[in-house]
Amino acid sequence: MQLSILDRLQILRGDITKLQVDAIVNAANERLAPGGGVDGAIRRSAGPELDEACRRLGGCPVGEARITPGFRLPAKYVIHTVGPVYRDGAQGEPHLLRSCYINALKLAEENGLRSLAFPCIATGIYGYPKKEACAIATEAVTDWLRGHSLPERVIFCCFEQEDYDLYCEQLKKLQTMTSEQ
Ligand code: ADP
C-alpha cells in the first residue's frame, strides 16, 4: 500500500547527529570547510574522516549538494548542501534555498536512500527568516514526495523550539488542505 505524503513526513525536535537514518543533511559552506552550527556538530560526531572526505570534494556551489559517508555518525551518509546567505530575499534566495532541498532529495534517491533528515538550512548563521524558510522547505519536500517514492521518509529535525512550532503549524495547514481536496 502506498503511504500518503503526510505519512512520509515527520517533525522532530532535537540534535540531528543522533538520528539513525540513511542520511542526514548538513548546512555546509561553499568550501565545505569546517563551520559552526549544525556543520560543527556533525563534524564533531562524524570524526576527522569527514573533514578529509569534504576536503577531497573540493567545495560545493550554493544550492547544490554532495554526499559523503557518515563515518562515526549513526547515519550512514551525510548530504552536504549550501544554503544562500540571506540579504533581502530579492537576490534569488528563495530559489536557491528550494534547490538545496531538491538537490539533497535527488542525491538521496540516486543512492537508494530510504530515510533522510533535514536541519533548517540557512536559518542560523546565514540569516534566512525562519518562517519563509519553513514554507520553502515544506513545499519543496512535499512537491518532491508527490512524484518520487524515494526517500520513503523525510524528517525535519528542528534544533530550536521556534522552528519546531513553525513546522508543526505548516504541516497542520497542509493536512487541512489535503483533507479538503
Ligand atoms: P546556516 O549557516 O545554513 O544558517 P547553521 O548551522 O548556522 O547553518 O543553522 C542552521 C540550522 O541548524 C539552525 O536552525 C540551527 O538551529 C540548526 N542546528 C544547529 N545545531 C544543530 C543540530 N545539532 N541538529 C540540528 N539542527 C541544528
Torsion of CA 96, 99, 100, 104, to 10 degrees: -170
| 84 close to ligand 1 (CB < 6 Angstrom) | no
What 3-state class would DSSP assign to 122? coil
| 121 close to ligand 1 (CB < 6 Angstrom) | yes
Tell me what pLDDT residue 181 has. 61
Whose CA is closest to 136, among 150, 153, 116, 122?
A: 122
Tell me what pLDDT residue 70 has. 98
| 81 close to ligand 1 (CB < 6 Angstrom) | no
DSSP character string of 137-166: HHHHHHHHHHH---SSEEEEEESSHHHHHH
| Residue 178 and residue 142 in contact, taking contact as beta carbons nearer than 8 Å | no
Question: Using CA atoms, how far apart are residues 5 and 175, in angstroms rounded to an integer?
Answer: 10
Bridge partners of residue 68, in order along the sequence? 78
Question: Using CA atoms, how far apart are residues 14 and 33, in angstroms rounded to an integer?
Answer: 24
| Residue 155 and residue 104 in contact, taking contact as beta carbons nearer than 8 Å | no
Q: Compute mean pLDDT per 10 residues along the chain, 181 residues long, and list them.
A: 82 98 98 98 98 98 98 99 98 98 98 98 98 98 97 98 98 81 61
Model-level pTM?
0.97
Output the nine-digit C-alpha cell for 131: 518562517
181 CA distance to ligand 1 middle (Å): 35
What 3-state class would DSSP assign to 66? strand
Tell me what pLDDT residue 2 has. 56
Active site residues: 39
How far lies 17's CA from each of 56, 80, 100, 126, 148, in Å?
Answer: 22, 13, 19, 20, 26
126 CA distance to ligand 1 middle (Å): 10
Domains with residue ranges and CATH for the chain: 8-180 (3.40.220.10)
